[in-house]
Every structure is written in C-alpha cells, then in structure tokens.
Chains A and B, each alone.
Chain A
C-alpha cells in the first residue's frame, strides 16, 4: 500500500514538472503549449545522449534540460512570437505543428524503438521504511519535485523578477504601461517552462523507458492536471499532479480495467462542481 502510494507520488512528480511549465507559460503568455510533452520527451533523449557521452548521470541531468531550454528559446523567439496577435486557436495550432515535427524528428534521429538507460549507481538501491522496501530513486524524484516546487514559489513570490512575472500575468496592459518589456519576459518564461519539462524528461530517463510516444502520453495527462487544478495556477498544477498520480497508482491496484479512464472521470467531476478548476480563477 505504502509502496504503491510512493510509486504514485513519484510518477506525479514528472507530471508536476510538465504541468508546472505548461501552467506557468499559460498564466503569463496565455498560450497553451501543445508541444510541452514533446519538450519533456526531448529532455529524456538529450539527457540520454549526455549520459552516453559523459557517463555521468549528474552531467546528463544538468545538460539535458538546458538543451531543451535552448529549444524552447528557438520555439518562442523564432516562431511563437509571430502569432501573438493571431486568434488563440492559431497559437495552439503552431505548437501542435511542433508536436508533429519534434516527435517525428526524434524518431528519425534515434529510431522508433524504446531505449532504457541504467539507473545511476548511487540511486539504484532501496530504503527500508517500516515494513516496505522503497526504491531510492523514487525518493530522489520526490525530493527533486518538492525542491522545484519550493524554488518556483520562492522565485515567484520573493524575487523582483517573480513580481514582474506575476504582474504581467495579472494585467499585461498595465505591466507594459509600467515599463515591463513583455516580449523579453515572455521569452524567459517560455525558456523556464521548457527547462522544467526537460528536467521532468531527464529525471524520467532512468526509470521509464524512453520512446518517441512518451510526449503525447504525458501532455494529455498534463492537460487533465491543469484543468483539474485550474489553468495558470501552480498550486493547482501541484495538487492536480499528486491527485492524478495517486489515482493511477491505486487505480492500477484496485481497478486495473478503469485505470486509464479514472483521471478523465476525476476531471469531469471537478468540471461539474467547479468548472474553473480547484485553484483556478473563474473565467470572464
């Protein structure tokens, strides 16, 4: 039971890292990045390459997400900013084009098969807590997830750059009028969001097999999470991720047939009661 809970929570952390970036980008830029799952996938592949080259898991964890952040910069600076004035649907479609391009590009470069790299030696053991044996790596993931959550909170609430980001999210016009260079801010926020997704992917590399389809799977779950938690709310993304992670873990244990559908049902339930999500702000 405890073991299943821990597995659920650690799965939730990958989801949290993707959902956090997705929600942050939407909150500030009002753009829903369909390609966020693909950035997660790139994080895993880049980290894998870095691991093969350097032989060090820690180097991989550092380099992978940074390269993804660079891809994020190229996406925002080269393409996305050209369609900010277009209807929202076209912004969504632009990011969707990136899903198609990145997924197939990865297939082209790395092949369509699963790759499963090894767990780093320092984290491959297990810890005995009470009567349960818990894999160290899962605990590590939990720690990183919590740390990122804390870091984001401090960054947004306690630093002046965070203040500017929150101001722009709350009222873009007013922030511009007060001298915020919104376009440069957008680029940085997108880079940060991409880095978070890349970190999630890099962290997932040793325990989840890497495949070109991994981005599609997580982006739809991340959509469910942000709808559950409220789009644009980081707290919502965190709580939503934990909820979905636990639902999947225990669902797999108790009702394996409905495991896939459980998350969607939870989403439908929340939408009936609170259409704007658990922590979201009422639309309009």
Chain B
C-alpha cells in the first residue's frame, strides 16, 4: 500500500513538473496522454473489473466535450463548465446505460457501439446546436470561477495544463479508491461469476449500472477537459474510432491492473507520435500490435512485466 502511495506521488510530481521542464509540444502531448489515460481508466472500470467491453466511450467523451464547449461559449466559468460537462455525460450514460446493462457480453459491446454512433449521428446532423460537420469553434479558456484570489485566468497553455493535470490526477485517485471499494469488489465478483454474485446478494444489474454511469462521468470529464485545450470540438470525438482508443490503450497496458490503462495511454500516444512520422498508415501498425497483444500478451505490458518478475507457479 505504501509503495503504491509512493508511486502515485511520484507520478503526480512528474506530471506537475512537466510545464517547468518541457517545451510546448511535449506539454501538449503529455496532457493528451493524461486525457486518454482518464478515458481508458473509465473504459477499464467496465472492462477490467466487470469484463464488459464498451465500444461507445466516445459518446460520453463527446457528450462532455460538447456540453463544456457550449457552457464556455455561453460565458460560464471554466471549472463549472468542466464539471457540468462531466455531469451531462453522466446523465447521457444514465439514459443509454438503462438499455445497455440489460445485456451482457457481445450484446453489450454491440449496443454501446450502436448507441455511440447514434450520438455521432446526432452531433453530425444537429447543426443548430453542435455546428454539425464543422463542430464548435472559438471555445474560450475562461476564468476558473473560484471566489476571490483563487479566481485564476487559465489563458496561458501552461496554466491550463496544470489545471487539467490536477483534475485528471484527482480523478485517478478517486478511481483507484473506487477499485478497492465494495463497489469494486462487487464488480470483480460479477466478472468472475455473475450468477454466484447474484446469489451472494450482489444486485448485479444495479452494480453494473452504477459502474456504467461512473465510467460515463469520467469519460465525460476527459472530453470536457479537451474542449478548452483544443478550443474547438468536432464530431470525431463521438466517432467509434475515438471509442477504440481507450480500448487499444487498455489492451496495450494491460486490463488487469490499475496502472495498465495509464501506461497503455502513454505508450499508445507515444508510439503513434513516432509512427506517423514514418507512415500515414499507423492504424495498420496498431492493428498488428493489437493482434500480437490478443494472441500472445493478453495481460498487456503490465501483465508481461509481472510474468517476468514472478515465473508462473506450477500447479
């Protein structure tokens, strides 16, 4: 436990030191990694713990991004726009989740994908509100919206980085706490054997529903933080290719440990940054990486590392 706390503290310090030691490019890249890590953690709340593969996290990511963008453009202070954006995404998850959690396994994956694309279709066509194809532009990095001397302006990218990084780190702490909570235990019980969990008194469907809405909330927060960073939001945030990113990050890092999705997000975006310099066909490369992960390293990088450290015990 103490080692984990130390690891978390080191991660936090490194992340918060980035603007002081890195240039604008690296700072931008690291913030993107953090946002993807948060999105991947939200995905893994369902996948790693419950075994439910959601292909629609993009819907909530976009829900958060568009809500925050609309609020910011209406003049709402930054912090409140972001938090309300995340809540709007959670509300969306509460509606869609009611349909999705009635099903398990394959049906769940298909439904999340289809509903994700429904959100994409709505964002694409509802031009009056979402700007349609062009998306929303000119999103201000407004004042933070806290009372008195705490009311910073976040106009400079370095300041915005710190603000966003703190929110992401706090969310990671909450999600980590959640994975060790009774809810986390109930989710793992469902993954191992849903029927047995039901008989031991775990309300299976309600527990999955809570996890689904929580995952929507944090995916929405990740999206909401994107809006002021890019200062534009486009329909691609809802597309299924966006939903596939947390899946890839989690698979690369390893779904069975808390650190997996975070490590995976760093590796995924880092690799992408390198690959796109050589070829525009980076999805082809990632397809091959994913293939290797599924066939050989189902535990991801974290799984492979722990296998090296602890050789498999003979049974």
Contact = CB atoms under 8 A, between A and B. Distances in A.
B284 A101 contact: yes
B106 A231 contact: yes
Given A32-B106, A89-B109, A90-B294, A100 B118 contact: no
A83 B247 CA distance: 18
Contacts of B298: 86, 90
Interface string A231-254: 100000000000000000000000
A180 interface: no
Contacts of B307: none
A283 B104 contact: yes
Contact of B107 (A83, A100, A264, A283): A283
B287 A101 contact: yes
A267 B291 CA distance: 31
Contacts of B206: none
B158 to A, nearest CB: 35
A88 B51 CA distance: 9
A79 B291 contact: yes
A99 interface: yes
- Interface of B, helix, strand, loop or mixed by DSSP: helix
Contacts of B118: 261, 264-265
Interface in B77-114: 99, 102-107, 109-111, 113-114
Contacts of A174: none
A94 interface: yes
Interface stretch (A104-112, A184-192, A197-205): A104-112
Contacts of B283: 100, 103-104
Interface residues of A, number: 44
Contact of B114 (A87, A104, A227, A258): A227
B142 interface: no
B125 A258 contact: yes
Nearest to B295: A82
A220 interface: yes
A223 B125 contact: no
A69 B254 CA distance: 33
A35 to B, nearest CB: 10
B117 A264 contact: yes
B122 interface: yes
A104 B110 contact: no
Interface of B: 47, 51, 53, 99, 102-107, 109-111, 113-115, 117-118, 121-122, 124-126, 240, 244, 247, 251, 281, 283-284, 286-288, 290-291, 294-295, 298
Given A93-B53, A101-B287, 11 more contacts: A90-B294, A93-B290, A93-B294, A96-B244, A104-B283, A260-B124, A261-B118, A264-B117, A265-B118, A268-B115, A271-B102
> 9 tightest CB-CB pairs across the interface, nearest first?
A100-B287, A104-B284, A101-B287, A260-B121, A264-B118, A97-B290, A89-B53, A97-B291, A223-B110
